[in-house]
Structure 1
Amino acid sequence: MNLEQIYREAGAYLEGHFLLSSGNHSQFYLQSAKVLENPELAGKLSDELASVIVKSGVEFDSVCSPALGGVLAGYELARAAKKRFIFTERVNKIMSLRRGFEVKKGERFIICEDIITTGGSALESARIIEELGGVVVGFAALANRGFCSLANINSDRKPECKLPFNKPLFALGNFEFEIYEPSDCPLCKNGSEAIKPGSRGN
Structure 2
Amino acid sequence: MSRLSSVSSATRTPRPNAGTKGVARPEREAQIVEAGCRLFGERGYIGTSVADVAESAGISKPLIYNYFGSKDGLHVACVQHASGVLVSEIERTAASGTIGFARAAVTLDGMFRLLEPRPWLWRVVFDATAPREGEAQAWLAEHERRIIDFGREGVAELMHLSGNHDDLDIDAMRAAWESIFRSLVNWWLDHPGDSPEEMTQRCLRIFTTVFGELDLAGTALG
Whether TM exceeds 0.5 here: the answer is no
State the TM-score, normalized to the length of structure 2. Answer: 0.27
More helix by share: 2
Which protein shows a greater Rg? 2
More strand by share: 1
